[in-house]
Structure 1
Amino acid sequence: MATIRDVAKQAGVSVATVSRVLNSNGYVNEDTRVKVTEAIKELNYLPNDVARSLFKRRSKMIGLILPDITNPFFPELARAVEDVANETEYTFVLCNSDNQMEKEQQYLTALKQKYIDGFIVVSSTLTTEQVHELNVPVVALDRIISPHMPSVSVQNYEGAQEAVQYLIENGCQKIAHISGPDYVDNAHARKQGYLDMVRDKDWYEDGLVVDGKYELDPAKKAATQLLEQHPDVDGIFVGNDLMAVGVLKAAEALGIKVPEDLSIIGFDGIALGETTTPALTTMGQPIYDVGSKAAELLINYIEGIPSVHSNHSFGVQIIERETVKKGGV
């Protein structure tokens, strides 16, 4: 494998001159630059990225920390971040924290030691103080860490209200909610949107909100208990699509027909919802746009390009499929 010294010898210049060409640092006349570039091509020389990072204290690398890579929503987000990173010649590193604060901190520390240029984080545990201590650009994605920190999210509260209104308009007489963990700000916002729509209804009662932990199996178990205890529930707003699949499975196991006897609407708009039987009606997020905006915001932040808005909130819209009984008839 060729070294920087081999390139310098081939081009008839010093190692320092080759370094200036590689790092675009300092003056090099055009003839010399051409000689060095040709030598690099002829020798198929690959610069040592670690050494360049140490020299420039920059790596052209960004990290994306996700809480649960098994939830199809997050790989769809990751694809958008990766695409933008590739377009701008940044390396993309994906980390799965398993919703564990310790694991999240380990990734942050390890990548910071490699002079990573910035992070996009989906986190419910990272604090503003910890972000400041990183001393690199950080963008919060999907979940807000601080109102003063750059972020990209969607209108969770409004989307939840629209989902409940859609069930009401289609004839549902008693609507329950399978929520995500309350410590996750978007789950809390979706639950609050539901509550503000139903708490004054004469049919509302305690026990119509149950925690599905944003996971399929816990949601299936929670929905089973809910439907056994409240057999008159005829509509469920589910806090994410992965849990909605669990609710569909619970209904099937109990012999409840969807949508004839029970209408279900999720939240996210992941591709998985198209494959269920019946296909899942949901509040669709513009997932790709959300991920790409976060990457764009971070890279602009790294490059010192000012942004007019540092906090972006996308709207959501109903994707009508087959799990809501139309017109309630």
Structure 2
Amino acid sequence: MVRIATMRDVAGRAGVSVTTVSRVLNGTGYVRADTRRLVEAAIAQLGYVPSASARGLVASRTGLLGLCLPDVGPVADLAAPARHGARGAVEVVTDEAEPGVLSWGSRYFGEVVRGAEYAAWQAGYTLTLVVARPPEVEARVRELAGLVDGLVVVAGTLPDDLLEHVAHRVPVVLVAGPRPAGGFDHVGVGNARGVRALVEHLATDHGIRDLVYVGGRADAPDEIDRARGFHAALRALGLPAPGRPGPRGDFSRATGRRLARALLAERRRHGTPLPGALVCANDETALGFLDVFTAEGVTVPDEVALTGFDGIHEGRHATPRLTTVEQPMTDLGRLAVELLDACLDDPRLPRQNRVVPVRVLLRDSCGRH
């Protein structure tokens, strides 16, 4: 077994005290330039890496922040062995259009993570992730809370009692959805206001009176706000509420395709036209509908207007380009970490609720402008 170099080994190689090595590593106290060079050379020669756990004992900090994300579906059947051709051969296979599994995390979570990681780096922290995947959710989150200085949690990921328990140990900031009870710091977006502005545009500027909302997971906090905004807009405009609940998916593009096929089959079976507009809970669902409509010869927006929510990159380059409510996903992660950093610097700060504004991006999928 290879022996791991210690700070004492570095001090011995450089011919200095352990205190001097500590000063060089931490940038504290005065160290002569020639002595600093000796220590740095010893560190390089021995391949010494400071122990984060030891450093945390001294500073009462670990330098780690946690980000807890929901489990939104399997990545793939990781237990199944990969299929390959014979040795040296290249297998040529038909790529199925829909593999039947969700692509984990969606573009939304990727952008939140990107913003959080960058803000953590700027503040001198390292970000570590945990996915709340059953059945070990409680154990994994409790373990993470013992390793990090603070925790960012996507709303709806953990039960309230577990959040309360973790918050007794480390500060917690919630991301997305409405601000929950419990006094947590929170960063969210204007979900309801964004959907309401979008519906008002469809009804007022395009004259569409028959609108259907395509929902996401019923337990998702953002979904609750967006559905509320949709129905509030209908009431404000004097439009009739749908006679029955609209289709509901899970925010994935694959499920959007399935819902679109079911909608077309039902309308064709009964000989009824498509609604004037489909207001989808997110962009990936809307893009799934667009995939099927394009394949089936349904023209958007001539036969049905189509809109999303999030503002992901793919919507801008779809054909037609997707009208959407853009939310600053990267800013959600960044602001959550900034709130966490502020809490760590001053635990006496009052809890904050930051609502990040959204904007409606008018594109081709809802009509000409």
The equivalent residue for 2:142 is 109
1:252-273 deviation digits (Å, cap 9, x = unpaired): 2443100111111111011121
The equivalent residue for 1:188 is 224
Pairing 1:60-209 to 2, within 5 Å after superposition = 60-67=63-70, 68=72, 69-97=104-132, 100=133, 102-113=135-146, 115-134=147-166, 135-144=169-178, 146-147=180-181, 148-169=183-204, 170-198=206-234, 201=238, 203-209=240-246
Q: Is 215-224 or 269-278 further displaced after alignment?
A: 215-224
Task: Give 1:103 deviation, angstroms.
Answer: 5.0
- Cα distance in 2 for partners of 1:305, 1:203 equals 49
1:223 and 2:260 correspond: yes
Whether the aligned pair in 2 keeps the contact of 1:154 and 1:316 (CA below 8 Å) is yes
Helix, strand or coil at the partner of 1:323: helix
Unaligned runs of 5+ in 1: none
Task: Give 1:276 deviation, angstroms.
Answer: 1.7
- Cα distance change on mapping 1:29 and 1:16 into 2, 3 Å: closer
Normalising by structure 1, report the TM-score. Answer: 0.86
Q: Is 256-265 or 285-294 further displaced after alignment?
A: 285-294
Q: Percent identity?
A: 30
Task: Give 1:274 deviation, angstroms.
Answer: 1.6
Normalising by structure 2, report the TM-score. Answer: 0.77
Task: Give 1:198 deviation, angstroms.
Answer: 2.3
Whether the aligned pair in 1 keeps the contact of 2:176 and 2:222 (CA below 8 Å) is yes
Q: Structure 2: which amino acid aligns with 1:224?
A: R
- Cα distance change on mapping 1:202 and 1:121 into 2, 3 Å: closer
Superposed CA RMSD in Å reads 2.8
1:187-243 deviation digits (Å, cap 9, x = unpaired): 011111111222585654323522112122222222333343452401011111111
- Cα distance in 2 for partners of 1:291, 1:11 equals 43
Q: Is 217-226 or 7-16 further displaced after alignment?
A: 7-16
Whether the aligned pair in 2 keeps the contact of 1:178 and 1:223 (CA below 8 Å) is no
Helix, strand or coil at the partner of 2:162: helix
1:214 and 2:251 correspond: yes
- Cα distance in 2 for partners of 1:325, 1:234 equals 11
Task: Give 1:280 deviation, angstroms.
Answer: 0.9
1:40 and 2:82 correspond: no
**Aligned partner of 1:261 among 298, 303, 312:** 303
Unaligned runs of 5+ in 2: 73-103
- Cα distance change on mapping 1:232 and 1:10 into 2, 3 Å: closer
- Cα distance in 2 for partners of 1:302, 1:102 equals 31
- Cα distance change on mapping 1:284 and 1:141 into 2, 3 Å: same
The equivalent residue for 1:238 is 280
Task: Give 1:118 deviation, angstroms.
Answer: 1.2
Pairing 1:20-39 to 2, within 5 Å after superposition = 22=25, 30-31=30-31, 37-39=36-38
Whether the aligned pair in 2 keeps the contact of 1:128 and 1:146 (CA below 8 Å) is no
Number of aligned residues: 320
Whether the aligned pair in 2 keeps the contact of 1:176 and 1:209 (CA below 8 Å) is yes
The equivalent residue for 1:298 is 340
